[in-house]
Amino acid sequence: MGTNNINHINCIDNQSYFKVQTCQDIECLLNDSIFTLVQLCTNSKYKLNYIKLDMDDVVVIGGGIIGAATAYFLSKEGRKVKVIERDPTYKNASFPLSLGGFRRQFFQKENILLGKFARDFIYQIPELLKTDKNPNPTASMVPNGYLLMFGSEHAEEQYRALENHKACDAGTKNIKGTELSKIFPYINNEGIETATFTDNKSEGWIDPFMFHSALKSKAIDLGAEFIKGEVKSISEIKAKTIISAAGCWTKELLDDIPVVPQKHTVFRVKCPKHIPEMPLTGDLTTGVYWRPEGKEYLAGSPHSVFDAKDLEPAWNDFEELVWPALAKRIPAFEELKLTGGWAGYYDCNKLDNNAVVGKHPKYENVYLASGFTGRGLMQAPGIGRALTELITTGSYQTIDISDFAVERVLGKSARPEPYVL
């Protein structure tokens, strides 16, 4: 006899109960590893016995940017959310070690729409995330815009992407390579066939820590609980709804999901010529990307390492890959001086570089949000909203991200997103 044969009741003082009629029913429940007996109740009116079970409403595994955003949106809907994070300092999490980029320039429509949602959310932070303890929340957005440059080998793909940009009203401007230096006079346009840019009111970069702090603070204000702990197995969790937002460590909980840590290195450099108005720029001919940071610059290496054992920066990449690419594209960068750097992880979906979001078909109550491959920060608001809609209504309402479903990766049905920087 299984627990499915025992009548589950939620209506008594809004708690989780099971109706039991025999000792065999009680034994069956206690033998089920996900249940803990709290008390045996008797309803005298109906002469029925009930077992009350100690079960959380929603448990989110992982308190990074995706976990915090999901906790915020679910708490807004009145769900009781508990977030379990093994390292509340977040020193090895993906979001604080990123460049903080925010953009809508992607190939897949879902990614474009998630970028649009995030942009609108960012500008509403002062109102949406305000609390008594944090009366002036901010993500400290620097709206310098976002510039992507493409060589001939990626041009046709980019022209197709622009059709999706137009369909999604992304506000992207296409720039011919020959015209690029007229708009950005410090750029050498050699080898650039086309580029895309969004104006300086739409894209740029934010402070990842401040954004996360604002989301977490508001989620707590709405009733969410953040606790320190390590979950080694999904079966450890007793909850009506379980959400894995474990990022790079997803496979430790769900070994059929192809999401693994991918180490990227970022360098801090100084240049005598300072260009504060420079957008966050990605050169798809080399894979190098950069932006201003105060009076210095940050530049990312195109080289990455899967399953790295540490976060030691790949220092050799600077002279071998990054500096030559920067100096060629922006002649003023020939005088760069390396002043520092760090490495961080992407939670990379090795199938197609796209997110894996939705209900896991092998479980009754397990949902997943992972595999963002460097886009978790910029997609967190939309993903948090989408997961909340799926859990509370059974379907997506704001942005349909059904194509990111778990079944896609289980069936190895790739939908590649080529814009990974």
Q: Are residues 266 and 374 in the same domain?
A: no
pLDDT for 9 beyond 50: no
Of the ranges 196-200, 286-290, 323-327, which one carries the lowest mean pLDDT score? 196-200
Domain boundary among 349, 377, 392: 349
pLDDT for 98 beyond 50: yes
pLDDT for 233 beyond 70: yes
Domain boundary among 39, 54, 69: 54
Average pLDDT over residues 313-327: 98
Q: Are residues 99 and 39 in the same domain?
A: no
Half-sphere exposure of 382 (CA within 13 A, CB side): 27
* pLDDT at site 11: 37
Query: Contact, 204 vs 279, CB < 8 A?
Result: yes
| Confidence category of residue 38, pLDDT binned at 50, 70, 90 | very low
Query: Contact, 263 vs 308, CB < 8 A?
Result: yes
- CATH number, residue 358: 3.50.50.60
Query: How do residues 106-117 score in pLDDT, each as one tens digit?
Result: 999 999 999 999
Is 335 or 47 the better-scoring residue by pLDDT?
335
In this structure, what are the phi and psi dihedrals at residue 166, rounded to the nearest 5 degrees? Answer: -65, -45
Average pLDDT over residues 278-297: 96
Q: What whole-number percentage of the chain has pLDDT above 90?
A: 83
Q: Are residues 337 and 383 in the same domain?
A: no
pLDDT for 21 beyond 90: no
| Confidence category of residue 201, pLDDT binned at 50, 70, 90 | confident
Q: Are residues 216 and 327 in the same domain?
A: no
Is 48 or 180 the better-scoring residue by pLDDT?
180
pLDDT for 37 beyond 90: no
| Confidence category of residue 307, pLDDT binned at 50, 70, 90 | confident
pLDDT for 33 beyond 60: no
Compute CA 230 distance to the chain's CA centroid, rounded to the nearest angstrom: 20
Average pLDDT over residues 357-372: 97
* pLDDT at site 198: 86
Q: What is the mean pLDDT of the chain?
A: 89
Q: How many domains does the chain have?
A: 3
| Confidence category of residue 3, pLDDT binned at 50, 70, 90 | very low
Q: Are residues 254 and 363 in the same domain?
A: yes
| Confidence category of residue 55, pLDDT binned at 50, 70, 90 | confident
* pLDDT at site 34: 39
Which residue, among 98, 79, 374, has the nearest Cα to 219 in the 3D structure? Answer: 79
| Confidence category of residue 295, pLDDT binned at 50, 70, 90 | very high
* pLDDT at site 54: 62
Can you spell out the DSSP letters for 137-178?
Answer: -----B---EEEEE-HHHHHHHHHHHHHHHHTT--PEEEEGG
148 domain-assigned: no
Instruction: Tell me which residue range forms the domain holding 18.
Output: 3-54
160 domain-assigned: no
Half-sphere exposure of 81 (CA within 13 A, CB side): 32
Q: Are residues 387 and 297 in the same domain?
A: no
Compute CA 264 distance to the chain's CA centroid, rounded to the nearest angstrom: 16
Q: Are residues 265 and 128 in the same domain?
A: no
pLDDT for 410 beyond 90: yes
pLDDT for 257 beyond 70: yes
Average pLDDT over residues 234-250: 95
Query: How do residues 131-179 score in pLDDT, each as one tens digit?
Result: 999 999 999 999 999 999 999 999 999 999 999 999 999 989 999 999 9
Q: Are residues 404 and 281 in the same domain?
A: no
17 domain-assigned: yes
Which tokens is 324 given?
Answer: 């030559």
175 domain-assigned: no
Domain boundary among 327, 349, 371: 349
Which residue, among 27, 29, 26, 50, has the nearest Cα to 40 in the 3D structure? Answer: 50
376 domain-assigned: yes
Q: Are residues 11 and 122 in the same domain?
A: no
Q: Are residues 345 and 357 in the same domain?
A: no
Which tokens is 171 given?
Answer: 């506000």
* pLDDT at site 75: 98
In degrees, to the nearest 5, what angle opens at C-alpha 353 toward C-alphas 349 and 357? 65
Q: Which residue in this structure is represented by tokens 């949106």?
A: 73
Q: Are residues 124 and 270 in the same domain?
A: no
28 domain-assigned: yes
- CATH number, residue 284: 3.30.9.10
184 domain-assigned: no
Q: What whole-number percentage of the chain has pLDDT above 70?
A: 87
Q: Are residues 21 and 81 in the same domain?
A: no
**Rounded alpha-carbon distances, angstroms, from residue 354 to 266, 329, 374:** 22, 29, 10
194 domain-assigned: no
